[in-house]
Structures are given as C-alpha cells and as structure tokens.
C-alpha cells in the first residue's frame, strides 16, 4: 500500500489535480468579474473601491493571471504569492470582522479564516512546485 501512495503522491496526474482544485475558485471568480461585469463593479463599489472599473479589471487580471501560473506549473511561486497577497488584502478591505458585530462579524471572520487557509494552500503549492522541480533536476 505504501508503494501505491508514494507513486500517487509523485504522479503528474495528482499534481495537476491539486493545482486545478486550488485554482478553480480563482478562475471562477476572475471569469465572473468579466462575464458579469456589472456585478463585478457592484462588488468593488460595495467594498469602497473606486474607480470600480479599474479595480474590477485588476482583480480579474490578478485572479486569472495567478491561476494561469499555477495551472501551467510555471512560476507557481509567483502566481501563488500574488493570490495569497490578494487574499490577505481582501481580508483587510472586505472581511473586516473586527469592525462588525453579531452575525455579520461572524460571517466576515469565517471568510477571513477561509482566506488564511487557502493562502496556506497556495504557499504549500509553491513549496511543492519548487521541490518537484528540484527532484527533476537531480533525476
């Protein structure tokens, strides 16, 4: 059984699956900001970000560009880093649980904690990508 697990963890298909799972939320959000442009503008305005058009376009580019790097397995550290910084910035601008009360504060805290967890996954993906690349160089 251990051999099966080792082969699976080292496999290209599982590495691709992990990257797709990690990127899907960013791709979906980035595309949504372009497909439903008015909805994206409303999100930016609700967060107090003006000019909303610029922030919507920059957000979509960040989400899609970071995802592309992860999915292509090229410069994963950069894509993951950009997306992790984006998540932290989102906590500071949108999910400000410390400035809310009651159910609204609780929901914002849950979103903030989710963002921290995904940022950790992005960091892990950057580390895994680097380690996989080093192993290929040795082999």
The C-alpha atoms of residue 90 and residue 59 are separated, in whole angstroms, by: 10
CA distance 91 to 46: 14
Is residue 41 within 8 A of residue 81, CB to CB? The reply is: no
Global confidence as pTM: 0.93
End-to-end CA distance of the chain: 24
**Tens digit of each residue's pLDDT, the chain (139 residues):** 689 999 999 999 999 999 999 999 999 999 999 999 999 999 999 999 999 999 999 999 999 999 999 999 999 999 999 999 999 999 999 999 999 999 999 999 999 999 999 999 999 999 999 999 998 888 6
Question: For position 135, what pLDDT does the model report?
Answer: 87
**Of residues 25, 21, 18, 129, the one with CA closest to residue 86:** 25
Q: Please give the pLDDT value at position 122.
A: 98
């Amino acid at each position: 059984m251990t051999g099966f697990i080792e082969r699976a963890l080292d496999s290209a298909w599982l590495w691709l699956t992990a990257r797709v799972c990690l990127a899907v939320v960013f791709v979906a959000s980035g595309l949504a900001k372009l497909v439903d442009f008015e909805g994206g503008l409303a999100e930016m305005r609700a967060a107090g970000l003006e000019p909303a058009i610029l922030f919507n376009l920059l957000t979509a580019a960040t989400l899609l560009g970071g995802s592309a790097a992860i999915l292509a397995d090229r410069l994963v550290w950069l894509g993951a880093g950009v997306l992790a910084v984006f998540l932290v910035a989102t906590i500071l601008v949108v999910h400000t649980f410390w400035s809310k009360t009651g159910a609204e504060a609780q929901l914002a805290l849950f979103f903030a904690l989710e963002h921290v967890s995904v940022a950790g996954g992005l960091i892990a993906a950057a580390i895994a990508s680097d380690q996989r690349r080093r192993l290929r160089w040795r082999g």
